[in-house]
Structure 1
Amino acid sequence: MEDLTEALRQWDLRMSTLPEKGRSLFANKDFFPGEVIIKQEPCVFVPNNSASQARCDTCFSSSNLKKCSACRVVWYCGSSCQKSQWKVHQLECRALSRLDEDKRKYVTPSIRLMLKLCIHRKLQDERIIPSTATDNYRLVEALVSHMSDIDQKQLVLYAQMANLVNLILQWPNINIKEITENFSKLSCNGHTICDSEFRPLGTGLYPVISIINHSCLPNAVLVFEDTAAVVRAVQYISSGSEVSISYIETAGSTITRQKALKEQYFFTCSCPRCENVGKFNDLHESAVLEGYRCRDDSCTGFLLRDSDNRGFFCQRCGLFRAKEELKELSNKIRTMLDRAVTSTSSAQLEEAISIYKMVEQFQRELYHPRSIFLLQTREQLLKMLMEVEDWKEALAYCRLTVPVYESVYPSNHPLLGLQYYTCGKLEWLLGYTDGAVRSLTKAVDTLRVTHGTSTPFIKELILKLEEARAETSYKLKLPSERVTVL
C-alpha cells in the first residue's frame, strides 16, 4: 500500500487505522468549504439500465443509443464511448453473446458490475490495462466484506449470483468463494452514481473513496462529475482531522439512522449527533421528525409518551392524545398510501394526486408540522404536480417543504441547495421574479460549495440567476404608470 500512501499524500491526505473504525482518511492540511478533498474515477461502473430506461455504458447518456450488435445487452451513444470501454467489453461481450435471449434478462446491473470487476482484474494481471495506486485489485481485496454479519439467506443469494457469473464467464479455475465475498463488498462499498440533481444513474466501485468513514454530521460531501466521485469539504476541516461523509439520509431520528446503518453497513455510529441518543435534544429531534403533533392547532409543541403508555402528552401545553386516536389516523393513512402507490405505478397521476392530498390532510392532523413523513408526502405531490405541469400548485408545495429542509439539513447540504433551486425555477416560470432571485441566490450559495463552480450544472444555475436579476432590474426601470396592453 506504499503507492496508495504516496498517492494520498499528493491530495494532502493520509490513511490511518482506528481501532473502532478501521481504515480512515485524515487531512494533512486545512480544507475550507468548497475545496476538493479527493477525486477518483471508478474501478468499475455500470448504468442502472432497465426494460424502460437504457443509458450509454460509458457516459450514461440516454440519447442516440445503439445496442452492441454482438451481445445485445450493452448500449452506447457513439463510437468514442464504445472504443473507450472496448478492452473490458470485448471479454464481457464474448461471454454475454453465448447466452440465449431468456438468460440475458438475468444479467442485472449487479451481475454486470461483478463481470466487469472480474475482467478488470484479469486485464490488470495480464498488464493489458494499467494498475495504478488508486485503481488496482489489491484495494478491492482490502475492502471489508462483513461476511460474518450477513444472514444465511443473503449469503445463499450472493452464492447464486457468483455461480451465475461463473456460468457467464466460463473461465477455468474461477474462485466462486471470492466472487461471493466480492458481492458482499459491493453491497456495502459500492456507490450510487448520481447526476448533479442527485438522480441515480448507475453504480460504481471507488476503493479509495470507500476508506472515508460515515458521520451523521459530516464535514464533507460526495458528489459526481460524470462518473468521477468528488469529495468536497462542507465545513472547515483542520489539518489532522478525519474526513467524513454521510452514507445514508440524515433527516431522521437517531434510532432510524442507526437502524439503517446497522442493516446496510453493519456498524453502530458514534458520531457527535448519535452520542446524544436518549438526551433531551435527541428526544426533541425524534419527536419532531417522526412523532405526533399537539391536538391544539395553534400549539407548536411535540408529543411525548406518557408514563402509563395510554397515549402521548404535549410537552408545551400538556394536552393529551390517546393511542387509539393516533392508531386510527395511522391506519387511514396507511390504507390511502397503498391506494396512492397503486395509482402512481399504473400512471393514473390525477387520481394519485387526489389520494396523496387526502393523505397529507390526515398527516397534518397526526404528525408534527416538521415531520419527515409529511415532508415525504409533499415531496411526492411536488414531483407529480410537476409531471402534470401544474406549476402554481407545485410551487405552493415546494414552498411548504423549504422550511423543513432548512430545519433538518445544515446550511451547506446539497439537498437543501437543490430545493432552493427547484423553488427558484418554479417562481421564475410563474413570473415571481423577486422570489426567484432570492431562491436562486440561496441555491447558488449552497451548491457552489457542494458542487464547485466549474461544472455545467452550476454554470447553468449561475446563468439563470443572472438572467433573473437582469429581469428584476429591467422591471424596476419601467415607468410605474406604464400599462401593458394585451
Structure 2
Amino acid sequence: MSFLQNIFNDISLTKNISVWNDDEDSDKANLRRIKLLSSYSICSFQQFLDQSKSSGRKNDVLSNALLEKSKRSEKDLQLKLIQQALGFAPPGSNLDSVFRFRASKWFERNMFEYALFDLCEIQSKNKKDLENIKLLQDKCECSEKKKIKEATIETQIIFHKFLQNFSSSVNLGSSKKGGRFLVADKNINPGELIADENSYVALLDRRYRETHCEFCLIKSEYLISCLGCASVYFCSVKCRAAATFHSSECLLMDQIFKADTGVWHLALRIVSGKPASYWATKPYLAKLNSYSSNAISTVYNLVTHKDSGDIEAPVLMKEALTALFYLRVLKTSGYFKNEISSSNELSSVELEVGILLLHFMRVTFFNSHEVTELIGENVEKIGCCLNPSLALINHSCDPNYARVMTGRRSLAFATRLIRKDEEISDVYSPTFFMVDRITRHDTTQRYNFICECKPCIEGWKTEQKMSLNFIPLNPGDNIDQLEKDIKLMLSENWTQSLSLDAAIEEISKTLKDSHLRIEHPCKGVLQLENLLHRLLWKFHCS
C-alpha cells in the first residue's frame, strides 16, 4: 500500500465529517475538500518530499565508483554501469570525464556517431577533445553538432481539415447517449491508415527509465542524464529540453512513484509543463476552428463525467488528496515562484491550480491510453499517454481498428472493412475474442459505462469456444477458396515466404473479401485480423 493511501486511511472521517461524506462533484465542493485536507499536518508531505534525501541526488563518489567498476566489468555490463555513472555525475569535470570515457567505449565498438555525441556534450573541451570531434565528424560524414534521434516512420495520409490527426476518410458524429464519436466518411479498407497522432503528454513505466527516453519514450542505446538528478534519462538534448515537466519532478521522481497515483501522474505533467502564469490566462477556454491534439483547449474539453453523480464521496476525497499531494510537489520544486505561504496554508493561486489538477486528473483517468512497444514477438506496455484525438473513438468489444506505436507516436489502422457511416471503434478492455463478458465489464466499468455492444448483448463466444467454421453471408456463395486462403495465411511459415509489405497487402485484400462474403464473427477471420495487426507492428516499428 502506498504512503498516500496510508495517509488517506489514517485521516478519513477524523474531522469535518460533513465534508468527508459530501458527494457533490463541483469545483466549489472540491475547494472545500482541498482546504480541509491541507489543514492536516501530515498533508504537508514534508517528510516525503525532502529533496536532500532523494535517492536521485547527484553523487560524485558513487559516480566514480560506478565508473571504476565498469572498467573491470564484462563488455555487456560495461555501458550500463557507465550510464549509471553518467546519471550520478554532477555537472563539471566529473561529468566531462564520464563522457570522455564512454566516448572511447563507443569508438571501440565502431559506434562513431554516439562517440561524437558524447564528446560534444563535454563542457570544458581540451585540445584532444576538439581533434577527436573533427575526426569523428569526418567518419560520420556529419557536420552538425549532434543529430537528434526521432521516430522515422514514413506514412502516406491525406489529413482531415477539421480533425487534424485523422485521415479525410473519417468524420465526427455525436449523439446524446454516445457523445462525440467517429464514423467512416467512405469505405475504409483493412490496413488503411486512419490516424497519426503524437501524445499530448506521456509517462514511462518506472522499470524502463534506464533504457528509454523519459520524453519521447523511445528505447535507445544512447542516453544522457538529467543535469539535476540521476532518476531519468533522455535520448537527446532536444528531448531533455522538451521535458519541461521534469523541473517539477527532479529529485522527487521516486516519491511520486511511491505515491502510486497511476495515470493521474499525467495530470501533474500537463500542469507542470507550463508555468503558473500560463494557467492564469485560462488558455484552455480558447475556441478553435479545428480539433488539434496539440491544443490545451482540446485536452481540457475531453470527457470527465463531472456532475454525473456516479462518483462516491470517498473517491472524491482521494482525488482531492492526490491533487493536494501534487500541489506540494509543485511547491517543493519552486513552481509557485512568487507565492509565499506556510507549509499547510494554500494561496489563492495554489487553490486555482489544485482545481485545474483535479480536472486534468479526470481527463487522464477517462481518456488515457497505454503506451506499448513490440518486444520480440510480444507487445508490452511501457507507459501511458493522453491522445486527445484517438480518445474520440468509442469502445466496442469487437473493435475495427488497432494502433501501433513508436514511443509517443500512434498510428491507427483499420483492421477490417469499415463501411461508410459505420462507427469506428476502439477497445478499452480485452476484446470479446480474448475474454468473457464478465471480465470485460469489470474493466469497462472504470470508464463509467456498461458496455452494450453486439458481442455483449448477444453473448458472443471467446476464441477458445468458437468453432473454425466459415459460413457464407449469402447461402449460394462458394467460399471454399477464400477459406483455403485464410487457413494458408494463418499457417506457421506463410509470412516467412513474403516481405512484410507484401504479406500486409495480401492479408488486407483477403480480409476485405472476407468481410464482404463471410458471416461475422468468424474465428479464422478474427485470427487473420490479429495477424495483420502484428505485421503492421513489425513493418512500422521494428
Smaller-chain TM-score bracket:
0.5 to 0.7
Count of residue pairs the alignment pairs up? 310
SS across alignment from 1:158: helix
2:173 counterpart (16, 34, 50)? 16
Tell whether 2:217 aligns with 1:75.
no
- Provide Cα deviations, 1:352-386, integer angstroms capped at 9, x if missing partner: xxxxxxxxxxxxxxxxxx37xxxxxxxxxxxxxxx
Quick one: structure 1 residues 219 and 435, their matched pair in 2 at CA, closer, same or farther if it must change by over 3 Å? Answer: closer
Question: Counterpart of 1:188?
Answer: 366
Percent same amino acid at aligned positions?
20
Question: Counterpart of 1:302?
Answer: none
2:394 counterpart (213, 224, 235)? 213
Tell whether 2:541 aligns with 1:450.
no
Quick one: structure 1 residues 220 and 103, their matched pair in 2 at CA, closer, same or farther if it must change by over 3 Å? Answer: closer
Question: Counterpart of 2:164?
Answer: 7
Quick one: structure 1 residues 246 and 6, their matched pair in 2 at CA, closer, same or farther if it must change by over 3 Å? Answer: closer
1:118 counterpart (246, 250, 271)? 271
Gaps of 5+ in 2: 1-159, 337-348, 471-485, 508-527
Quick one: structure 1 residues 269 and 406, their matched pair in 2 at CA, closer, same or farther if it must change by over 3 Å? Answer: farther
Question: Counterpart of 2:407?
Answer: 226
TM-score (norm 2): 0.49
- 2-side partners of 1:33 and 1:57: how far apart? 34
One-letter amino acid of the structure 2 residue matched with residue 450 of structure 1? H
Tell whether 2:192 aligns with 1:39.
no
SS across alignment from 1:218: coil
Tell whether 2:422 aligns with 1:265.
no
One-letter amino acid of the structure 1 residue matched with residue 354 of structure 2? I
Quick one: structure 1 residues 101 and 200, their matched pair in 2 at CA, closer, same or farther if it must change by over 3 Å? Answer: closer
Quick one: structure 1 residues 73 and 163, their matched pair in 2 at CA, closer, same or farther if it must change by over 3 Å? Answer: farther
Residues 162, 180 of structure 1: 8 Å contact kept: yes
Q: What is the Cα deviation at residue 140 of structure 1?
A: 1.9
Q: Which moved more, 1:202-211 or 1:216-225?
A: 216-225
Residues 209, 232 of structure 2: 8 Å contact kept: no
Gaps of 5+ in 1: 290-369, 372-402, 408-416, 425-433, 462-486
- 2-side partners of 1:142 and 1:248: how far apart? 24
Q: Which moved more, 1:437-446 or 1:211-220?
A: 437-446
Q: What is the Cα deviation at residue 226 of structure 1?
A: 3.1
Quick one: structure 1 residues 28 and 272, their matched pair in 2 at CA, closer, same or farther if it must change by over 3 Å? Answer: same
Q: What is the Cα deviation at residue 162 of structure 1?
A: 0.9
1:48 counterpart (192, 205, 223)? 205
1:140 counterpart (296, 299, 305)? 299
- Provide Cα deviations, 1:445-466, integer angstroms capped at 9, x if missing partner: 457843676x7x32798xxxxx
Tell whether 2:138 aligns with 1:57.
no
Q: Which moved more, 1:97-106 or 1:35-44?
A: 97-106
Residues 403, 411 of structure 2: 8 Å contact kept: yes
- Provide Cα deviations, 1:25-68, integer angstroms capped at 9, x if missing partner: 11222210000111111111121124986531134326344431
Residues 62, 77 of structure 1: 8 Å contact kept: yes
SS across alignment from 1:188: helix
- 1-side partners of 2:379 and 2:469: how far apart? 18
Question: Counterpart of 2:430?
Answer: 249
Residues 215, 239 of structure 2: 8 Å contact kept: yes
Residues 33, 236 of structure 1: 8 Å contact kept: yes
- 2-side partners of 1:44 and 1:176: how far apart? 19
Q: What is the Cα deviation at residue 70 of structure 1?
A: 0.8
- 1-side partners of 2:209 and 2:540: how far apart? 31
- 1-side partners of 2:215 and 2:411: how far apart? 18
- 1-side partners of 2:215 and 2:469: how far apart? 36
Question: Counterpart of 1:365?
Answer: none
Q: What is the Cα deviation at residue 190 of structure 1?
A: 0.5
One-letter amino acid of the structure 1 residue matched with residue 328 of structure 2? L
Question: Counterpart of 2:249?
Answer: 96
Residues 5, 15 of structure 1: 8 Å contact kept: no
Higher relative contact order (CA 8 A, sep 6+): 2
TM-score (norm 1): 0.54
Residues 114, 165 of structure 1: 8 Å contact kept: no
One-letter amino acid of the structure 1 residue matched with residue 447 of structure 2? Y
Question: Counterpart of 1:297?
Answer: none
Q: What is the Cα deviation at residue 229 of structure 1?
A: 1.7
Question: Counterpart of 1:330?
Answer: none
